Amino acid sequence: MLLIALGIFAWLTTRSRNIKSFQFQISIFILIWMTGEIVDLLGEEGVVELFSTSEIGVYVHVLAMAMFSAMLWIRFYLSGKSGKRIADALQEG
């Protein structure tokens, strides 16, 4: 199932082609996250014995989270700098 989802998100990433688009950025995040899951799963099953695969999976997850938070902060900073709002204001009534 992970490999099928990995293929779908790889296809979505190549299809969007615009690095600034949210679809591209979130697809890259999910690709990194799923790669960490696959490495972690292979380490638990004992299929791959590289260094300490359980630690590598955790490091890949941390990399994915760092990339995700950096992506959100950069998008927030650039939207504030350009004067655009990220979301519409709440309407009362």
Domain span at residue 43 reads: 2-80
CA 83 to chain centre: 26
Segment 19-76, tens digit of pLDDT: 777 777 887 888 888 888 887 777 777 766 655 555 777 787 788 889 889 888 888 8
What per-residue confidence (pLDDT) applies to 11?
Answer: 82
Specify the pLDDT at position 54. Answer: 58
pTM reported for the whole predicted model:
0.63
Report whether 60 contacts 36 (CB < 8 A).
yes
For residue 10, the Cα-to-chain-centroid distance in whole angstroms is: 11
Instruction: Domain count for the chain, please give it.
Output: 1
Establish if 88 belongs to a structural domain. no
Residue 90 included in any domain: no
Q: What is the pLDDT of residue 50?
A: 59
Say if residue 2's pLDDT is above 80: no
Q: pLDDT value at position 48?
A: 64
**Long-range CB pairs of 21-27, under 8 A, 24+ apart, other chains included:** 22/75, 25/71, 25/75, 26/71
User: Does a structural domain hold residue 9?
Assistant: yes
| Contact of 46 with 52, CB cutoff 8 Å | no
